[in-house]
Amino acid sequence: MKMIIDGKKVDSFDGSTIPVVNPATHKVIDSIPNATEKDVRKAIDVAKKGKKIWAAYTPSKRAEILFRVAELLRKETHEIAKIICQEEGKIYSEAVGEVTGNASIFEGYASKMRHYYGSILPRINNDFVEVIREPLGIVVCIIPYNFPADLYCHKVAPALAAGNAVIVKPSSETPLANIYMTDLLLRAGVPAETIQIVTGYGADIGKWFSTSNEIDAINLTGSTNVGIQTAKNAATHLKKVFLELGGNDPFIVLDDADLDLAVEETVINRMLNAGQTCCAPKRFIVHNSLIEEYTDKVVERLSEIKQGNPMDLSIDMGPMVSEHAAEEIHRQVTMTINQGAKCVLGGELFDKSFYKPTVLIGVTKDMDIAKDMEVFGPVIPIIGFDTEEEAIDIANQSIYGLSAGVITKDWKRGVKLASKLDSGTVAINGSGLCRTADMPFGGRKMSGTGGGEGFFNTLDEMHNIKTILLKDFYN
C-alpha cells in the first residue's frame, strides 16, 4: 500500500520502502513507503490548507460526514479485521472485536459535537464576555501496533469532530489497516486536504513532526521512552502533547476474593492480544493464603490455550507482532528467573515469533518485573502479600500508573483500596482493561499526560479556548 497525501496514493520521495511481514507466517505481505523529510513537509503543507477547509464546516456538517464514516466502518469490519490479523498476528475473533466498536467512536464524537456549546459568562463590569472553542489546527496522531484500528479511531475521531486537520503516522509494523481506514474516511467525504497518512520509521518521522513549528498538537500512544523524546522535541515550540504510554498494571487478589473470578480475569485479560495490551494486568499480587490454589488454577487454565495461525478460528492466541518482540519477552523472563523466580509454565519462544503462556512464581517485590519492567507479552508474574498495606506498597512502587484491578467480595473494601492506588483507572472485580469509549482512559506518573482519551473529555482537549469581551456592552 502507499501513503495518502492530498487524497493521492503516493510513494516516498526517494522511492524507498519498508516490508510488512505477517508474524505468523514470516512472509512479506506488502510494503509501504519509507517517508523522507520532504514527504513530511508536503503532508504538513497540505494539512495547512486542510485545517482551514475543515474548520469552516459547521459542526453539523462535520458530524454528518463522521456518521458516514461509522456506516462504512460497520460495512467493512471484516475486511479491516483480516488486514489486522495478517499484519499484526492478532487472532481473527479479537480483530473483529476490535473493529466492531470503531463505528460507535465516530458516532459518539459526532453526536457530542452537535451539542457542544460555548458559554456566556455572567455580566462583569457591564461587559459582555463570551467563551468559545476553536480547533487546535493540525493534529498528528501516532498509532501503535497493538490496537491499530481502535486507537486510530480514539485519536482521529475527536480531532476531526473538533474541526482539526489530521496527519496519521501508523506503526511501521501494522500500517495497512490504518491506510485502509484513511482511504475510507476520504470515501465518506472528509476533504482530501484534511486527512493524510504518512508511513515510515517512527524515530525519524516522529522527530520531524514533533519539531515542526507548524504542527499544533501530537497525540501519541507508545512506549514511555518514545513519549519522553516526543515531549522534549515538542517543547521547542510549546505544542500540545497528549501521551498514552506504558504500564505495569497491578492486579490485586485479596484474601476474600472469588478465586474462580480472579483466575478468569487473569487469563482472559492477560492473554488478550498475546499479552500486547498496555492496560492489561501485568503484576499479579495475590494474598499468600490463596497463592498456591490461584497458581494451580491459572496454570490449568493456561494449559488449555491453543496457539497457531491467527486466521484459524480454533486458535486462542497468535504470535507476537515480530520476532524482535518475542525475543525481548524471552530476555525479560530469563532475567526474572535469574533474579530468583521459578517458571512453572511456558517460558519458551518457538517458531521465531510465538511465545508460550508463562507463569512465574516466587517473584519478590524487589525484582525488576515487580517494579518498572513492563513485559509486553503473555507472562504472569505472581507476587505474594500478607497485608493490604503491603499490597498497596507493591502496586504503587512502579514508575507507571495506568490501570489496576482489585478482586474482593467486599465492595466497600475494594473501593477503599482503590482510593489508595496511584492509577488512572481502578476496576473492582475486574482488571484495568475495562475500557469504554465514554470513560477518560489515561494514566499517571510515567504512563502518560493529558486528561485521558474518551467522550468524557477528549473533545475539550482538541480545542483552544478563546474569550471574546465586549467592553461596556450593557451600558
Q: What is the DSSP letter of 132?
A: E
Would you please indicate which residues are annotated as catalytic (active-site) residues? 244
Q: Angle at CA 63, nearest 5°, toward 424 and 59?
A: 95
Phi (first) and psi of residue 166, to 5 degrees = -130, 135
Who's near 300: CB < 8 A, 6+ residues apart? none
Q: Angle at CA 361, nearest 5°, toward 358 and 364?
A: 125
Supply 57's cell numbers: 464546516
State how far the Cα of 191 lies from the Cα of 197, in Å rounded to an integer: 13
Pairing between strand 217-221 and 240-244? parallel
Q: What is the DSSP letter of 414?
A: H
Q: Which residue has the cell 492473554?
A: 271
State how far the Cα of 214 lies from the Cα of 49, in Å rounded to an integer: 12
State the angle between helix axes of 411-418 and 388-396 in degrees (0 to 180), rounded to the nearest 10. 40
Q: Which residue has the cell 480514539?
A: 154
State how far the Cα of 475 lies from the Cα of 455, in Å rounded to an integer: 40
Contact 108, 455 (CB under 8 A): yes
State how far the Cα of 23 lies from the Cα of 39, in Å rounded to an integer: 28
Q: What is the DSSP letter of 361?
A: E
